[in-house]
Amino acid sequence: MYSTTTTVLKASRNFGNFLMIPNPFPDFIYNSTEVKILRCGKQVHLFHGDLYLSEEDRICPYCGTAMEVNQTFHTPLYHVPFGEACTGILVDKHQFLCPTCKKTVMQKIPFQAEHHRITRGLEAYIYGLLGDGLQHKEIARITGISPRVIGNIDRERLKALYTENGKLKKPERQATAIAIDEFSLHRFHRYATSVIDLETGHIIWIQEGKKKDVVYDFIRHVGLDWMKSVKVVSCDMNSDFEEAFRELCPHLKIVFDRFHIVKNFNDMVITTVRREEQKRLEEAGDKEAAKSLKNSRYILMSNPETLARKDQMANEAKPGRRECAVFPVRSASRKGGNQARYEALLKENELFFAMDLVKEMLRRLFSRTTAEEMESDIEEIVQTCNSTNNIHFEKFAELIGNHADGIVSHAIFPVSSGKIEGINNMIKTIRRSAYGYNDDEYFFLKAMDQSRRIYVRNPKSHKIFQ
């Protein structure tokens, strides 16, 4: 079990060199402690002992005859680490032979975990470390167990928590608002979709794909009775999700939040128009005007208040990062003049001025509290975009018009997809930290468990000595 050097220390039963701790193992008779030094320099404390042998253990379960000890086996088990040292239990268990029916019976170790050479105490300790989000390699370094074994323990733990008879358990809590979004699963445009409870942030469904089938399978999983209590679903402008929910649950309100609307405007209009204007000026030979548009994407996307705050920070000469005494680095100076440059861009180009108008309209749109006001703002945005006679503005106007119902629903249910976007970021972090998963089922269970992780925000509540 252990690969050691020749440095071996033994303790007698007088316990002179060791602390006295309670014996957590039933039917374990302690004999001695042995300290071994591994080749890596880590200590291992081995507790030697025997299992208590009662008269009932000697009775043959087949014929009821008293059995005799046939063989004795030395069984090593990993145990909870003690500080920086690993610990192990070396148990002597017996094999019994029945003189009548000639059958053998092996004595069981009551404190051994199933399928693994570890104690139940260590198994519970590993469960706690996995629940805290520690990586398998870190737990392996602490406990001395192989990362592969820890992965198997984690898989068994997650299946026991979230599956029943090989299928995902239904949500324990009745949700009234949910959110759905897809995320990248593997390369070559393979995606998966997750559904969360917007109030708790828990993942209640996750499946490969991003089409209607995902929504059909989710509703089949939770049941139509469960969905009747759900009032609103927040999602991006994925037509498959919207059509599937409207088909099976027509009572639901579909809400498209501000983030996806503004993101589409930034990608479809600001980025594309700025690039085309820069290219047009270069072809016309106006290199100075084309140069002024370089690195202006962030300025065109920002609000005037944000640019003013950046200029104020630059004028106050606040450092961009904390000074470093050990590794001196020249602090990057903040550049001012953002607001002046923004106003100059609006004066020089009519399309940029139209961008500013639409941006302000979008800000005002999602501050409305009635459906009538939002419908009026959407009409105004569509008219402003069409009046520019620019194809990119017109495409955005068409997008807004086709999804007007989902945008107006924000006035009734002011929910956001911010939580599920954070869940997607968490899922990416899980995948990067493990350098990828080749088992999608284990990966999905890991994401569900991480979304339910309890964060301790007040370390003072864990003080032992008050």
For residue 28, the 8-state DSSP code is: E
Q: Count Cα neighbours of 455 within 13 Å in the Cβ-side half-sphere.
A: 4
- Hey, what are 405's tokens? 């119902």
Query: d(Cα 278, Cα 323) in Å, to the nearest integer?
Result: 38
Give the N- to C-terminal CA distance of the chain in Å, as an integer: 42
Query: d(Cα 89, Cα 23) in Å, to the nearest integer?
Result: 12
Each domain of the chain, given as residue ranges in start order, spans 4-53+67-159, 171-257+436-448, 259-318+336-412
Burial bucket for residue 19 (CB in 10 Å: 0-12, 13-18, 19+): exposed
Query: d(Cα 246, Cα 95) in Å, to the nearest integer?
Result: 65
Q: Which range, 29-33, 189-193, 285-289, 433-437, is most confident?
A: 189-193
Average pLDDT over residues 200-222: 93
Q: Count Cα neighbours of 431 within 13 Å in the Cβ-side half-sphere.
A: 19
Would you state the pLDDT for residue 19?
63
Q: Tens digit of pLDDT for each residue in 83-135? A: 888 888 888 888 888 888 888 888 888 888 888 999 999 999 999 899 888 88
What HEC string does 107-169 produce? CCCCCECCCCCEEHHHHHHHHHHHHCCCCHHHHHHHHCCCHHHHHHHHHHHHHHHHEECCEEC
The per-residue DSSP string of 46-64 comes to: EEEEEE---TGGGB-TTT-
Q: Tens digit of pLDDT for each residue in 212-257? A: 999 999 999 999 999 999 999 999 888 899 999 999 999 999 999 8
**Fold classified for 171-257+436-448:** Nucleotidyltransferase; domain 5 (3.30.420)
Closest by CA to 354, choosing from 320, 377, 382, 328, is: 382
Examine the pLDDT at 335 and tell me if it is beyond 70.
no
Q: Tens digit of pLDDT for each residue in 341-352? A: 888 888 888 888
Average pLDDT over residues 361-382: 92
Would you state the pLDDT for residue 23?
73
Instruction: Say if strands 104-106 and 163-164 run parallel, antiparallel, or are unpaired.
Output: unpaired
Lowest mean pLDDT among 100-104, 201-205, 256-260, 321-325: 321-325
Taking the whole predicted model, whether its pTM rises above 0.85 is answered as: no
Contact 177, 198 (CB under 8 A): yes
Q: Count Cα neighbours of 226 within 13 Å in the Cβ-side half-sphere.
A: 15
Burial bucket for residue 320 (CB in 10 Å: 0-12, 13-18, 19+): exposed
Token match 């759900």: residue? 230
Examine the pLDDT at 13 and tell me if it is beyond 60.
no
Q: Tens digit of pLDDT for each residue in 153-171? A: 999 999 999 999 989 999 9
Average pLDDT over residues 444-466: 71
- Hey, what are 43's tokens? 């200590």
Examine the pLDDT at 465 and tell me if it is beyond 70.
no
